[in-house]
Amino acid sequence: MSSYREALKDRKKIVIKIGSSSLMHPETGKLDLVKIEKLVRILCDVRNSGKDVVLVSSGAIAVGRMAIGLNERPDELPVKQACAAIGQARLMMIYQKIFAEYSQIAAQVLMTKYSIINEISRQNAENTFKELLRLGAIPVVNENDTVSTDEIQHVQTFGDNDRLSAIVSYLIGADLLILLSDIDGLYTDDPKLNKDARFIEEVREFDEELFRMGRTSSSSNVGTGGMSAKLVAAQIATYSGADMVITNADNLDNIAKIINGENVGTLFCSNRKDNFDLLKMIE
């Protein structure tokens, strides 16, 4: 265990992001309720240990389209928005039910790009998160796809929920962001296509070579984020003072392992920059 990894034990304010594909059974596209229950149980245990926790969860459109019988991700914008409206309500109902089983208060927070660009809205969001955490609640965050069309049209805004999770980290002053993905971490190339791709355990600086390694490679039909979006998220998180780890969502025990300082996933080390301009990275 490296001394830097061991220092992750001391992180007190943690954001955890999980994507759509990680919440679904790959065979059917329906919610994996056992996995969601385990995720919630782990989050509650982290909260019980005295740490603040925020969950950024995708899945609204995927849940909504299954509810209305669509087997593939829709192309029409109004259909996507309708799926988001139906799915977000269902997804939050499930989260609330399971959180309640562990006597944990959960709160829904829906955000858009304009929640961040507008100074008053951004301050209001900060105040809301601060109060929710003070009350001991676990905020469950998603982009408001019902009214915000940028993300679901693949325009660069939050970059799926990877970038949103980093922005939430910035807003709450988090010191650790964990991205639960469909891959173990960052590789020199796509390991699904190149058997010689090497795993990268730790990143301290960003350069062009790093972004070349992380070119978008998502093949899921329920999510929209790839490794490139995760690298942008890593920049936002680390420049604002948080460590970030990308790890495989197939093993949710990785959350506890990371928090306990074990060598799991790819660690992007905090590299706070005083001149960091968040707004430029979400334009």
- Give the side-chain half-sphere CA count within 13 A for 224: 24
pLDDT category at 75 given cuts 50, 70, 90 is: confident
pLDDT tens-digit series, residues 120-141 = 999 999 999 999 999 999 999 9
pLDDT tens-digit series, residues 196-242 = 889 999 999 888 778 777 664 444 444 444 788 899 999 999 999 99
Name the residue ranges covered by the structural domains of the chain: 3-281
The reply to whether CATH 3.40.1160.10 applies to domain 3-281 is yes
Q: What pTM was estimated for this model as a whole? A: 0.91
Whole-Å CA distances, 196 to 44, 190, 199, 222: 39, 9, 10, 28
Residue 158 has what pLDDT? 59
Residue 266 has what pLDDT? 96
Q: Are 210 and 256 in contact (CB under 8 A)?
A: no
Torsion from C-alpha of 47, 5, 265, 23, nearest 10 degrees: 0
Closest to 168 in 3D by CA, of 97, 101, 240, 107: 240
Spatial neighbors of 275 by CB under 8 A, at least 6 apart, are: none
**Residue 41 burial (10 A CB sphere; 0-12, 13-18, 19+):** middle
Closest to 36 in 3D by CA, of 54, 50, 22, 52: 22
Q: Are 164 and 236 in contact (CB under 8 A)?
A: no
Whole-angstrom Cα distance, residue 164 to residue 174?
13
Give DSSP secondary structure letters for 122-157. Answer: HHHHHHHHHHHHHTT-EEEEEE-TTT--TGGGT-SS
